[in-house]
Structures are given as C-alpha cells and as structure tokens.
C-alpha cells in the first residue's frame, strides 16, 4: 500500500502538471517548478507509510531511471526543458538526492533533517528560479540574480522556523550556505549539491 500511495501521488502530480501545461495554465518553466515543489511533499507521505529505509529509498530510486528516460526521450513534456537546454539533468539529480536523503534519514532516524532538506530543495530552488526570472536585476553569477538568491535564503529560513523553531541561528547559517551553493553550482546540479549539503550539515549541527 505504501508503494501504491507513493506512485499514485507522484503520478497524479505529473498528470496534473501535464494537463496544466497542455491547456497553457503554466509556462514550461512553471510546470517544472510545480512538479519540483509538489513532489518534495512525497517525503511527508513516506514518513507515515514507510518504516524500512530500503523500501522507502526504492521509490525515488525508480525515478532516477524514469527521469533519465524522460530526459532522453521527452516522455513527460511538462517535466523537461525546451530543446536548446538538453544538457540539464536536474530532474535526474533531484531523484538521486531524494534517494540518498531518504535512505540515510530512515536508516539513522534523521527524518526531520530529511524533511527540511527535501522541502528546502523543492521550495527554495523553485521559488528562487521563478522570482529571479520575474524580478531580474543584479546578476551575481552567470544568469543567477541577487533576487533569486535572496528568495532561496528567505524561503529556507521560513521553512526552518516552521520546522525547526528552536534553532534560528543554525537555520540562518544553513540558509546562507545553501544560497551560495545554489548560486555557484552548475544549472541542474544544484538539485544534488544543495539538498545534500543542507541535510548533512543539519545532521552535524543538530
């Protein structure tokens, strides 16, 4: 049943994103970010339905394969960037980081740290990209903007205060670190570096 819930949840998100993209409710980039945010909530579902780390991690592991096939053959158009940006393996790295975090969090009982890292990846990176493109302004590194980096910082701080309310200074340090990592990481690869850094630093600090 846990597997059924997991695949229905993610499948439903992909189906909804495809519909919204098809009927032009979203741009291609917004549909990607909708998926980015929505799928991160799977970790909450997993916390209530799985107790075995291998079985829990198997779900995102299967999406490493699925996401790569979608990237290669454009299986889920709402999840892929346009043709001129085919070097971006961000969806694959997303599934890789989710697999690693899920296994370690369930295996060693770091579920709160895992939840925070996954939601920070989902919300922080997505809002940062959307606001950065919308506002524009000062460029910091490549196409990445000050507005995008500040959005990531504030989003992670807000999530941290909500999930880890007794560790404000630790949250601020992690948010600064994550903002810099996202800023200087190659596009797409930040789906690997940012959440893993947040997770393992949070484990060390707390």
Alpha helices in 24-167 (DSSP H): 28-40, 42-49, 53-73, 90-108, 111-119, 125-135, 146-163
Count of CB atoms situated within 10 Å of the CB of 25: 12
Give the residue, 162 or 137, on which the prediction is more confident.
162
Q: Do 35 and 14 touch, CB atoms closer than 8 A?
A: yes
pLDDT band at 86 (very low <50, low <70, confident <90, very high): low
Helix (H) or strand (E) holding 138: none
Residue 84 has pLDDT above 80, yes or no: no
Mean pLDDT over residues 70-86, rounded?
Answer: 77
The mean of the pLDDT values for the chain is: 92
Mean pLDDT over residues 41-53, rounded?
Answer: 97
According to the model, what pLDDT value does residue 193 have?
96
Max distance between CA atoms of the chain, in angstroms, equals 49
According to the model, what pLDDT value does residue 74 have?
87
Handedness of CA 98, 104, 106, 109 (dihedral sign): negative
According to the model, what pLDDT value does residue 16 have?
95
According to the model, what pLDDT value does residue 23 have?
86
The 3-state DSSP class for residue 1 equals coil
To 5 degrees, how large is the angle CA 190–CA 29–CA 56?
55
CA atoms within 13 A on the CB side of 122: 20
Q: Do 196 and 97 touch, CB atoms closer than 8 A?
A: yes
From CA 40, how far away is CA 165, in angstroms rounded? 20
Which residues, 6+ apart, have CB-to-CB distance to 73 below 8 Å?
Answer: none
From CA 165, how far away is CA 163, in angstroms rounded? 6
Mean pLDDT over residues 100-105, rounded?
Answer: 98
According to the model, what pLDDT value does residue 167 have?
87
- Cα-to-chain-centroid distance, residue 168: 22
The 3-state DSSP class for residue 55 equals helix
According to the per-residue pLDDT averaged within each range, which of 9-13, 80-84, 183-187 is highest? 9-13
Model pLDDT for residues 146-176, shown as the tens digit of each residue? 999 999 999 999 999 999 878 899 999 999 9
Residue 87 has pLDDT above 70, yes or no: no
pLDDT band at 85 (very low <50, low <70, confident <90, very high): low
């Amino acid at each position: 049943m846990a597997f059924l819930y997991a695949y229905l949840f993610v499948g439903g998100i992909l189906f909804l994103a495809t519909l919204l993209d098809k009927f032009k409710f979203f741009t291609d980039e917004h549909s990607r970010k909708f998926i980015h945010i929505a799928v991160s909530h799977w970790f909450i579902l997993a916390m209530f339905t799985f107790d075995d780390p291998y079985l829990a991690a198997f779900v995102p592991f299967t999406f490493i394969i699925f996401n790569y096939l979608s990237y290669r053959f454009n299986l889920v158009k709402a999840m892929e960037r346009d043709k001129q940006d085919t070097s971006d393996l961000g969806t694959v790295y997303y599934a890789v980081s989710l697999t690693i975090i899920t296994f370690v969090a369930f295996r060693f009982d770091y579920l709160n740290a895992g939840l925070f890292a996954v939601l920070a990846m989902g919300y922080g990176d997505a809002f940062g990209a959307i606001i950065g493109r919308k506002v524009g302004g000062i460029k910091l590194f490549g196409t990445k903007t000050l507005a995008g980096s500040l959005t990531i910082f504030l989003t992670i701080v807000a999530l941290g205060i909500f999930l880890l309310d007794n560790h404000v200074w630790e949250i601020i340090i992690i948010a600064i670190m994550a903002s810099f990592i996202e800023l200087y990481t190659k596009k797409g690869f930040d789906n690997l570096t940012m959440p893993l850094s947040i997770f393992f630093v949070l484990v060390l600090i707390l």
